Copies of this chain bind each other. A is one copy, B any other.
Amino acid sequence: MAITYRDSGVDIEEGDRLVERIKPHAKKTMRPEVMAGIGGFASLVSLPKGYREPILVSGTDGVGTKLKVAFLAGRHDTIGQDLVAMCVNDVACTGAEPLFFLDYFGTGKLSSDQAADVVAGIADGCAKAGCALVGGETAELPGFYAPGEYDLAGFCVGVVEKSEVIDGKRVQVGDVVIGLPSSGLHSNGYSLARKVLLEAKGMKLDERPEALGGRTLGEALLEPTTIYVRDLLALRRSGVDVRSMSHITGGGLVGNVPRTLPDGTKAMLDSKAWKIPAIFEMIREGGDVPADDMLQTFNLGIGFTIIVPRSDEGPALQLLRGRGIDAVTIGEIQAGSGEATCEIK
C-alpha cells in the first residue's frame, strides 16, 4: 500500500484554496509602500517617505485562551482583530506608525472556511490600524490541536522617527495619566474568566445576564480588542506632548503602566475615576477573585494609558473626546522611591 502526503494528514489543495481566499482580504489593507505581498518567498515593503532616521519597531503576540471562547461560540471572524490589536497597540506605545503585519495560523486539520473567517478578521484589524497584511503562514499540523481548534500568532512592524521615539524618560512628577476605555477583557485573563464564569458558575455563552444590558455573555466575552493606533497618531500630530504610553495587557494597570516610567516615579491611579465595567464585576463576584488577582490580570476598563504634562491634559482630553473616545484622567505621577511603580487607591 503506497502512502501519499495526503494520507499523512496534510491537504495541500485546501491550503492553496485558502491562499486564494486570503488575497482579496489582504488587498483591502494595502499601502503604497508594499512592493510584494502574499505569495512570494517573502514580503517587500519600502519605508514611508519623509523619515530622516527611521527606527523599526516590532512586536509579536497571540490572543491567549480568548480563542477557546471563539471555539465554543463557533465564531471566528472577530478574533483576528484581537490578534492585530495586541500587536499594533504594543508597537504604537513607542510612537510608531504600524506599517505591516504577518500572521501565523496553526491547526490540526485545515478548514479553509474557518481560516478564511479568521483572516478576514485579521484584515479588518489591519485596515483599522492602517497597516498592510503582507504575509502569513498557515500550518497544518496533524495531531497538534483538538478538532476545530487552532492557535494564532501575529507580528507587526512599524516605523518612527528616531528623535520622536516615546520611551517614558521625559515623564515628570506632576504629569497626568489619561486612560482610554477598553471594549471589554480585550485579550487577557481569559483562562481565569472562563474558569469562573463557564466552569465554576456554569454559565452559557448564549445567556443574557441582566448586568450585560441585553448582550449575551458570548458577545461580551468576544468583543474585539480596541485598536488605538489612529487616535494615538492623531494625538501626537496635534502637538500634545505625549511622554509615555502603555498598552494594558497581562499584568493589568499595575503591571503595565510602570514599564515606561523612569526610576524615582510612581503613577498614583484613582480607580474611582472610571467605572469598572460589569463583565469584570461578574468575574470578581462569581469567583470571589482576590482584588490583587483582578488588578494584575485584567484591564478593568482601561485599555491604554497616556502620560502628558498637566498643561496638555485639557487639549489631550478634548482631542480624544472629539474622536468619540471616553478618555478620562485616572491619576498622576508622584515621586517614588527607586523603581517605578503603580499604585491604585
Contacts and interface: CB of A to CB of B under 8 A. Distances in A.
Count of this chain's copies in the oligomeric assembly: 2
A294 to B, nearest CB: 9
A293 B8 CA distance: 11
B8 A191 contact: yes
A212 interface: no
Interface in A82-102: 90-91, 93-94, 96, 99-100, 102
A103 to B, nearest CB: 7
A2 B289 contact: yes
Interface stretch (A52-60, A269-277, A324-332): A52-60
Interface string A146-165: 00010101010110001001
Interface in A121-135: 134-135
A60 B155 contact: yes
Given A58-B157, A142-B65, A143-B65, A41 B246 contact: yes
Chain A interface SS verdict (over half): mixed
Contacts of A151: 106, 139, 141, 144, 151
Nearest to A9: B191
Nearest to A196: B3
Contacts of A90: 41-42
A143 B3 CA distance: 32
Given A3-B195, A4-B289, A68-B143, A93 B42 contact: yes
Contact of A64 (B1, B99, B139, B153): B139
B144 A60 contact: no
A5 B104 contact: no
Interface string A1-28: 1111101111010000000000000000
Interface stretch (A43-51, A223-231, A233-241): A43-51
A136 B154 CA distance: 11
B142 A191 contact: yes
Contacts of A35: 55, 165
B44 A139 contact: no
Contact of A100 (B58, B99, B104, B136): B58
B102 A104 contact: no
A247 B40 CA distance: 11
Given A8-B191, A9-B195, A58-B134, 8 more contacts: A3-B288, A10-B191, A10-B192, A35-B165, A46-B162, A47-B56, A60-B137, A141-B151
16 contacts: A3-B196, A4-B192, A10-B192, A41-B246, A43-B58, A43-B59, A44-B56, A56-B100, A59-B102, A60-B104, A106-B106, A137-B153, A141-B191, A142-B191, A151-B151, A153-B153
